[in-house]
Structure 1
Amino acid sequence: MSSSMLPHPRHLVAFGPHGGAHTVALRAGISMAVPLTALWLSGHLDLSLYAAFGAFTALYGRNHTHLPRLRMQTLAAAMLVSAVVIGTTVGVFEARQWIVVPVVAIVAALVTIVSNAADLHPPGALFATFAVAACASVPSTPASIGLALVVASASAALSLAIGVIGFAHPAARLRPRSTFSISFRDAIARPENVSTVARLMTGILIAGIVPTVVGIGHPYWAMVAVVAALSGPDATARLVRAGHRILGTILGLGLAALLFAADLPAPATIAVVVALQMTAELFIGRNYGLTMVFVTPLALCMIELAHAVDGGALIADRLVETLFGAVVGIGLTLLWRSRSSTVVDP
């Protein structure tokens, strides 16, 4: 293991530029607030998980101008809706806790290839992985699959519409245009991308199988954590991301405990979810660890909206699973790099 790959502690507290995050946060907040409020008013908050993942469409293409962003978000919407449907389908089976592990690994590999080919932003398979794994964890019926498709699609469509509203303003059409294109040949031909996909699938299988065998609740959080930890562009970035995931989750669980203790009614919980989503988007480009402080209670509140939960058990499971998934990611980053170095360096 080379010492050059080890991050300096200052990397954990470094802040990036603001980058106009307030507009992205506003789009993300509206995209989340409208479908959740509609489900609450119609008495169908049990479908809120599907709507939330569809709303994640708004998080893509933050630095693109309107039409290229629409193309990128359309691709992201297709991936997210498909992930929701796949996860819900897995949830129909009795052995869903075992089926979901290889399914998530395959989905993560495919989405990573698409992400590299289309240069998606945010990159990687984190949101799709989360969608498949979370939806698969909820027992469902064949009828649920259609509901999941409709709700997630409607929510994603709303996000697409919100993303292009600003194009009506004349000033928006005068801005320099960004581009969006897809090249699968380049994405598949790069050896480093093949290694990334193999490492990712290995991490998901380990992070999914071990907690399932041990019997720890919500093993999908370990799979999501390892995907997050392995999403950096190089070894140093992956180690920093794993550290951010651990520290941010620990602090975020404290905030989640306060929210659960408050025993908020559904409308207040929706308001909290929207506020957390917007706050997370304000910081995602600046410091991932701080973002996790808000993402952690956001994820737990999303679950609470859809189903009655034991807050204490949920928090404990989230901590254990995140620590395990991040450690698996750190281990694979170090070991995979070491093995490569052994082959290259005589």
Structure 2
Amino acid sequence: MTGAARRVGVALLAVGPRRGDHRVAVRAAVSVAVPLLTVWALGRLDLGIYASFGAFASLYGRHDAYPDRIRMQLAAGAAVGAAMLVGTALSVLQAPDAVCVLVVAATAAVGTLVSWVSRWHPPGALFLVFAAGATATLPADVDTFAGVLLVGGGSVLFAVAITLGIALSRGGLHRGPVRRRERVGATGAEMALTAGAGTLLAGMLALLLLGSHWYWAMVGAVAALGGAHVTARLVRGTQRLLGTLAGVLVAAGLLAVQLPPLATIGVAVLLQAGAELYVGRNYGIAMVFVTPLALLMVQLAAPVDPALLLRDRVIDTVIGVAVGTVVAMVSSAIRRRVMGGHPDPRLG
């Protein structure tokens, strides 16, 4: 086994140390539980997926000071909300799937650039791609925009309110140094171009081969393009693939049981907590929780044959990870040639 292969193997299995992950997990669980229970009580579980996307705001800035974390969650939450509106507009307009893929790829590029400049953590446009792609494939009419704004926007504000409440209780809102923003520069532009190209290729290939749930391939490509260097990208892509395969088995069992809506919400909340316990420690383990969570939310919003759902998730993930990995390696090779063998270590 070569040194590079050994490093990849070790990184695949490594589980990082705990850094207060249980607190993040509880916040994330509450952030998604309350909005989901609200739409359930109103008899509008079809809007649950928008509540779930809005709750993504709670995942940003977990290790930042409270003022920076709140600003980051507001900005990222607004970006996720905008992505949902873009996807909903595509659905209302009944845009061809190829146009949807193109627009979601543009969302990936713009989101990656904004994330880079704003120094978001987690970095990248994965949540934006997921939100835009999923909502583009859901049935929608003009009235759906109100649901996106009220449910999705309300979920974002609730997540931020939790962070604000914790900050106030701990006296953590004192002013500190302003968080430095990155310049766009060649690095940011290259990252945005790579994300846009990778998601576009993955989405088009999935559309040609499957025709449904193509956005999962785009999400897989974004994930595989994350990382500070090629080895990190190989590890992340492989972890996403292996974790997804294991997660699909979990999802198959849950979908076979045909849980009632309230039980589905309870399971989703537990899965969200589990994902946050491990996402910063081993991405592959986190995907074992993320995969059934995503499938349950999609199934709540637009029920389809579970076998089709599971099949598409596996194949689209393989497509996305494969395309993202190839694009990452080609991008790295071009960058090394242009920069004389000294790529920017910040790239991810």
Contact 2:199 2:221 in 1 (8 A): yes
CA distance in 2, matches of 1:17, 1:233: 20
Q: Give the equivalent residue in structure 1 for 2:200.
A: 205
Instruction: Report the 3-state secondary structure (helix = DSSP H, G, I; strand = E; otherwise coil) of the residue aligned with 1:91.
Output: helix
Q: Give the equivalent residue in structure 1 for 2:344.
A: none
Summarize the Cα distance change of 1:103–1:263 in structure 2 as closer, same or farther, 3 Å threshold: same
Q: Give the equivalent residue in structure 2 for 1:47.
A: 47
**Residue 283 in structure 1 maps to residue 278 in structure 2:** yes
CA distance in 1, matches of 2:180, 2:264: 39
**Residue 247 in structure 1 maps to residue 245 in structure 2:** no
Summarize the Cα distance change of 1:273–1:199 in structure 2 as closer, same or farther, 3 Å threshold: same
The two structures have a TM-score, normalised by structure 2, of 0.92
Instruction: Report the 3-state secondary structure (helix = DSSP H, G, I; strand = E; otherwise coil) of the residue aligned with 2:140.
Output: coil
CA distance in 2, matches of 1:122, 1:316: 28
Q: Give the equivalent residue in structure 2 for 1:166.
A: 166
Offset of residue 312 of structure 1: 1.0
The two structures have a TM-score, normalised by structure 1, of 0.93
Q: Give the equivalent residue in structure 1 for 2:302.
A: 307
CA distance in 1, matches of 2:173, 2:75: 23
Query: Comparing 92-101 with 3-12, which one deviates more in the overlay?
Result: 3-12
Query: Comparing 147-156 with 275-284, which one deviates more in the overlay?
Result: 147-156
Q: Give the equivalent residue in structure 1 for 2:325.
A: 330
Offset of residue 110 of structure 1: 1.4
CA distance in 2, matches of 1:250, 1:15: 19
Aligned AA (1:35): P
Instruction: Report the 3-state secondary structure (helix = DSSP H, G, I; strand = E; otherwise coil) of the residue aligned with 2:138.
Output: coil
Number of corresponding residues: 340
CA distance in 1, matches of 2:256, 2:68: 43
**Residue 187 in structure 1 maps to residue 171 in structure 2:** no
Choose from 249, 262, 279 the match for 2:257: 262
Q: Give the equivalent residue in structure 2 for 1:271.
A: 266
Where does the alignment leave 5 or more consecutive residues of structure 1 unmatched?
Answer: none
Aligned AA (2:118): A
Aligned AA (1:226): A
CA distance in 2, matches of 1:174, 1:138: 40
**Residue 28 in structure 1 maps to residue 23 in structure 2:** no
Choose from 222, 227, 232 the match for 1:227: 222
Instruction: Report the 3-state secondary structure (helix = DSSP H, G, I; strand = E; otherwise coil) of the residue aligned with 2:184.
Output: helix
Contact 1:68 1:178 in 2 (8 A): no
Summarize the Cα distance change of 1:99–1:160 in structure 2 as closer, same or farther, 3 Å threshold: same
Contact 1:117 1:187 in 2 (8 A): yes
Contact 2:115 2:125 in 1 (8 A): yes
Contact 2:28 2:272 in 1 (8 A): yes
Offset of residue 93 of structure 1: 2.4
Offset of residue 245 of structure 1: 0.7
CA deviation map 1:83-134 (0-9, x unaligned): 1111111111223422211111211111111111111111110101110000
Offset of residue 174 of structure 1: 6.4
Q: Give the equivalent residue in structure 1 for 2:287.
A: 292
Summarize the Cα distance change of 1:321–1:180 in structure 2 as closer, same or farther, 3 Å threshold: farther
Summarize the Cα distance change of 1:174–1:199 in structure 2 as closer, same or farther, 3 Å threshold: closer
Contact 2:66 2:172 in 1 (8 A): no
Contact 2:199 2:324 in 1 (8 A): no
Aligned AA (2:89): T
Q: Give the equivalent residue in structure 1 for 2:156.
A: 156
Where does the alignment leave 5 or more consecutive residues of structure 2 unmatched?
Answer: 342-348
1:94-105 equivalences in 2 (<5 Å): 94-105=94-105
Summarize the Cα distance change of 1:180–1:15 in structure 2 as closer, same or farther, 3 Å threshold: farther
CA deviation map 1:237-294 (0-9, x unaligned): 1111000011000000010011011111000000010000011000011000000010
Query: Comparing 142-151 with 80-89, which one deviates more in the overlay?
Result: 142-151
Summarize the Cα distance change of 1:205–1:7 in structure 2 as closer, same or farther, 3 Å threshold: farther
Summarize the Cα distance change of 1:182–1:44 in structure 2 as closer, same or farther, 3 Å threshold: farther
CA distance in 2, matches of 1:6, 1:188: 35
Summarize the Cα distance change of 1:5–1:332 in structure 2 as closer, same or farther, 3 Å threshold: farther
Q: Give the equivalent residue in structure 1 for 2:113.
A: 113
Query: Comparing 329-338 with 310-319, which one deviates more in the overlay?
Result: 329-338
Summarize the Cα distance change of 1:140–1:109 in structure 2 as closer, same or farther, 3 Å threshold: same
CA distance in 2, matches of 1:97, 1:88: 13
CA distance in 2, matches of 1:180, 1:252: 40
CA distance in 2, matches of 1:241, 1:113: 20
Q: Give the equivalent residue in structure 2 for 1:145.
A: 145
Query: Comparing 90-99 with 309-318, which one deviates more in the overlay?
Result: 90-99
CA distance in 2, matches of 1:39, 1:60: 24
Instruction: Report the 3-state secondary structure (helix = DSSP H, G, I; strand = E; otherwise coil) of the residue aligned with 1:217.
Output: coil
Contact 2:54 2:81 in 1 (8 A): yes
Contact 1:118 1:180 in 2 (8 A): no
Q: Give the equivalent residue in structure 1 for 2:88.
A: 88
CA distance in 1, matches of 2:54, 2:172: 30
